[in-house]
Amino acid sequence: MICLEERIYTIPLRKAYRAPRPKRANKAIKIIKEFLKRHMKVKEVIIGESINKEVWKRGIQKPPRRIRVHAIIHEGKAYAELLGVDFKFKQQSQSSKE
* pTM score, whole prediction: 0.85
The more confident residue out of 95 and 63 is: 63
pLDDT at residue 87 in the model: 78
Residues 87, 69: Cα–Cα separation, whole Å:
11
pLDDT digits (tens, 9 = 90+) for 38-74: 999 999 999 999 999 999 999 999 999 999 999 999 8
What is the rounded distance in angstroms from the CA atom of residue 20 to the CA atom of residue 47? Answer: 23
Domains located in the chain, CATH noted: 6-87 (3.10.440.10)
Is residue 98 over pLDDT 50? no
- The predicted structure's pLDDT at residue 86: 81
- Cβ-Cβ contacts under 8 Å for 9 (sequence gap 6 or more): 35, 36, 39, 68, 69, 71
